[in-house]
A and B are shown apart, each in its own frame.
Chain A
Amino acid sequence: MSETEATIEVRRQMEICNACRYCEGYCAVFPAMTLRREFTTGDLTHLANLCHSCKGCYHACQYAPPHPFGINVPETFATIRAESYAEYAWPAPMGRVFERNGTLVTLAAFLSVTLVLLLTMALQDPAILYTAQTGTGAFFRVIPYWLMVGLASLSFGYALFAMGMGAVRYWRGTAPGAGQKPITVAPVAEAALDILTLRNLGGGGHGCNDLDDSFAQTRRWFHHAMFYGFMLCFAATTTGAFYHHFMGWKSPHAFLSLPVQLGSWGGALLCLGTAGLLWVKTVTDPGPVAKRLLGGEYAMLALLFLIGATGLLLLVIRHTGAMGVMLAIHLGLVLAFFLVMPYSKMVHGVYRGLALLRNAQEKRA
């Protein structure tokens, strides 16, 4: 990664931390830091992405502002992370949209909802949008099947591809001086377990400094709710598609069917998690927070919340005349999500996953 004001600042901070080491028990960052004496920008990017913003090291820091050393690791790491998202974005020029991420995400959400609504109205008899649709294939009478699948797979496919390219570039960019080591099974398994259990979010049992200098598990549980809610929603869509293609069962499915159950629990968890995380963000001690990045984070959480909420509403009102509009809005939001995914906070999952993998490799070296 290129040298910026933030990398110079975080290098200064890491040099102080490396002589102090009081925070070595907090997270993986500090043991990883002690393996190094000099910090390339790649090293700093790796460390920043290994940090999960528990803020422990800020509240514990004897050198935090107003001390003249002004150490604020979580804040500067957040800045470096955002810079790394921009630096490794694919295609490269798209990195710039990380600068005004809140605006981008909001705009994308608004535009794609409008687009889907307009498309539906243009392609279908507008009356369909307002009349109750029931029975097999009700959704596709509102939005044609080919359009739904086409938009979704194009946008999602693009997101996956762009994020994959970003991942490759990130992995190369954060390679330690000695170069890449081959990836083996054990570190991959460890990283996967770290990701699935979100083990690091709990501060090793005592909790993180979610709101202030006290330890809590608040953020961890909300993040879990969001993460698994998201996964369940994804599973709902996948089972729905499977039913459609292989079993010939067309949506809407019965309330107790697998896709609907997965989707409702997922949606509820997604709403709970994102709302909780939004709340945590608003009430937490602002000291260790990178204010400049908040816009993008709020927008992404809000978008996920709306996806969950519209999904649930759709379930509630699917036999009424409001279903058509709600479906268009819901799908519009999902489309927006797929489109902005490679250029939003969502990429942190990819880079953090890779940082965990690199860390698991380093521990074995």
Chain B
Amino acid sequence: MVDFARLWDVLVVGGGNAALSAAITAAQAGASVIIAEHAPKAMRGGNSRHTRNLRALHPKPTDVLTESYLEEEYWDDLLRVTGGRTDEGLARMCIRASEHAPGFLRDCGVVFQPSLSGTLSLSRTNAFFLGGGKALVNALYRTAEKLGITILYDTEVQHIAIEDGFAREAIVSWRGFPERIRCKAIIASAGGFQANREWLREYWGDAADNFQIRGTPYAQGRVLKDMLANGVQEVGDATQFHAVANDARAPMEDGGLAMRLDCVPFSIVVNKDVERFYDEGEDVWPKRYAIWGRLIAQQRDQRAFAITDSQALHNYLPSVFPPMKADSIGELAGLLGLDAAKLEGVVAEYNAAVQPGTFHGNKLDDCRTEGLAIPKSHWARRIDQPPFYGHPLAPGITFTFLGVKVNERARVMMADGKPSGNIFASGEIMAGNILGQGYLAGFGMTIGTVFGRIAGEEASKLVRN
């Protein structure tokens, strides 16, 4: 039985990577720690259970990372995706600390894949978890249990009572029963609000109903909203989120990574009105995949269709749901519910614009179009080798960027500009400090681990005083 009368040193809200990194660090420093995770045990771990790797600085090759990846290059990469919308101080601090993130996770029992493998060719910048995020989450929970951390599943934190920047207790729903947890410090690691359609609707209207939530349905943003309403300073753009092109047939929630389609660079993409709307061959895919979710979210009914032929089929990963397949473009249009004549026209116009070039599947090549209003700058090959394939696309939302403002000690900033007395935050709930827009593959787990460790350390220091 849980002792709800007890005064805990640290309450950690959430049960993903950021929460567990914080809880483990605090417990290792001697604090008594309780974790409140909204999900039941089988679905624990939030978005973190769907992840695959983390981005880490390293001056020389390690057993899991090739070559080297230094601060300036890391920072440049971040600058490029965020277009400068980032807090340089926090970002550089996080980048530097990322060097020690894999080691910390390894000490917690996480196993990494040797650097040779990896389908995304990211093994220079990103360390891959053996078995992926769920295996990571399992290892972290196991370590937490060994450290004697109390873990409450099925427990939603509904309200944090804040007075003068100080939190004394949290109101929770524990397996459906109302309870309160008293504590000396709180670490909020409850993720974003991407699974809260009503909230998304405030910015996106009805379109939000067609967004697929790639990760956990428990990311309702309840703690975030509660904190913002109770004097915590907001950061980031509420309308911004990370989104990819998902298979339109994916489940609306928790579909995970396997639902994303990476056929876009090898296809042409049209919307329901059979119009192309963006350069499919703009840049190498891992760098550009994150813009497509947003692009599709802006189309009618949040739908798009990637059209390829048998020549392109083996250039991209197989999809969970088989593509529509037909012997002619007209027939394919029928299967996809598109205007056949129009699609034939678009494909013919595209084919006519394709210039001769040498195709290279995984780097920028010289296959491009000429004369189209919306060009295809790379990997442009004629779509003329039946059978033809069509993948229906929908936006898959990964996480939202609105969050709570923190300082470099992971302490939450109050609206009056002062740091909170005992509230800390780590992970997606504060990622907006660094990610004003855009996303760098593997950076979510880095932010969670780095700030989780800082929050855990600071919280335990605080309660020991």
Contact = CB atoms under 8 A, between A and B. Distances in A.
A25 B320 contact: no
A22 B52 contact: yes
Contact of A62 (B256, B317, B319, B320): B256
B317 to A, nearest CB: 6
Contact of B42 (A37, A66, A206): A66
B142 A62 contact: no
A71 to B, nearest CB: 10
Interface in A296-342: none
B319 A19 contact: yes
B117 A25 contact: yes
B320 A213 contact: no
Which secondary structure dominates chain A's binding surface?
Answer: loop
Contact of A16 (B49, B114, B130, B320): B320
B275 to A, nearest CB: 28
A20 interface: yes
B131 to A, nearest CB: 3
Given A20-B256, A25-B128, A206-B111, A59 B320 contact: no
A56 interface: yes
A99 interface: no
B50 interface: yes
B43 interface: yes
Contacts of B317: 18-19, 21
Contacts of B111: 206, 215
Contact of A59 (B114, B135, B251, B254): B135
A257 interface: no
Given A59-B138, A214-B142, A21 B131 contact: no
A19 to B, nearest CB: 4
B144 to A, nearest CB: 13
Given A62-B49, A213-B138, A25 B251 contact: no
B49 A15 contact: no
Interface string B101-123: 00000000101011001010000
Contact of B132 (A18, A60, A215): A60
B133 interface: yes
A19 B109 CA distance: 27
A66 B318 contact: no
Interface in A206-234: 206, 213-215
A364 interface: no
Contacts, number: 78
Contacts of B50: 62
A177 interface: no
Interface core residue of B138, B314, B322 (most chain A CB under 10 Å): B138
Contacts of A23: 131-132
A37 B320 CA distance: 11
A62 B50 CA distance: 6
Contact of A21 (B42, B114, B119, B133): B119
Contacts of A66: 42-43
Interface in A6-35: 15-16, 18-26
B207 interface: no
B134 interface: yes
B348 to A, nearest CB: 29
Contacts of B338: none
A18 B134 CA distance: 17
- A interface residue count range (under 10 / 10 to 19 / 20 to 34 / 35 or more): 20 to 34
Contacts of A60: 130-132, 134-135, 138
Nearest to A12: B320
Interface in A175-231: 206, 213-215
Interface string A146-164: 0000000000000000000
Nearest to A205: B111
A206 B139 CA distance: 13
B138 A62 contact: no
A64 B139 CA distance: 17
Nearest to A287: B42
A67 B134 CA distance: 13
Given A62-B50, A66-B43, A68-B251, A16 B134 contact: no
B258 interface: yes
A16 B119 CA distance: 15
Contacts of B135: 56, 59-60, 213
B131 A37 contact: no
Contacts of A140: none
A56 B50 CA distance: 16
B318 A18 contact: yes
Nearest to A21: B119
Interface in B221-269: 251, 254, 256-258
B258 A16 contact: yes
A65 B43 CA distance: 9
A51 to B, nearest CB: 15
A85 B153 CA distance: 42
Contact of A61 (B134, B139, B257): B134
B153 to A, nearest CB: 13
Contacts of B257: 20, 22, 62
Contacts of B42: 65-66
Interface in A246-271: none
Nearest to B142: A214
A63 interface: yes
B455 to A, nearest CB: 26
A126 B322 CA distance: 72
A215 B139 CA distance: 9
Given A25-B113, A62-B49, A214-B142, A20 B131 contact: no
A44 interface: no
Interface in A100-115: none
B392 to A, nearest CB: 15
Contacts of B319: 19
A62 B318 contact: no
B182 to A, nearest CB: 32
B247 to A, nearest CB: 9
A57 to B, nearest CB: 7
A23 to B, nearest CB: 6
Contacts of A68: 251
A365 B251 CA distance: 38
17 contacts: A15-B318, A16-B258, A22-B133, A24-B117, A24-B119, A37-B314, A37-B318, A57-B131, A59-B135, A60-B132, A61-B134, A62-B132, A63-B258, A67-B43, A68-B251, A213-B135, A214-B142
Interface of A: 15-16, 18-26, 37, 56-57, 59-68, 206, 213-215
Give the 8 A-B residue pairs with the shortest CB-CB distance, closest first.
A60-B131, A22-B132, A20-B258, A60-B135, A213-B138, A25-B113, A19-B258, A19-B320
Given A15-B318, A59-B131, A213-B135, 12 more contacts: A15-B320, A19-B319, A19-B320, A23-B132, A57-B131, A60-B131, A60-B132, A60-B138, A62-B49, A63-B258, A67-B254, A213-B138
Interface of B: 42-43, 49-50, 52, 109, 111, 113-114, 117, 119, 128, 130-135, 138-139, 142, 251, 254, 256-258, 314, 317-320, 322
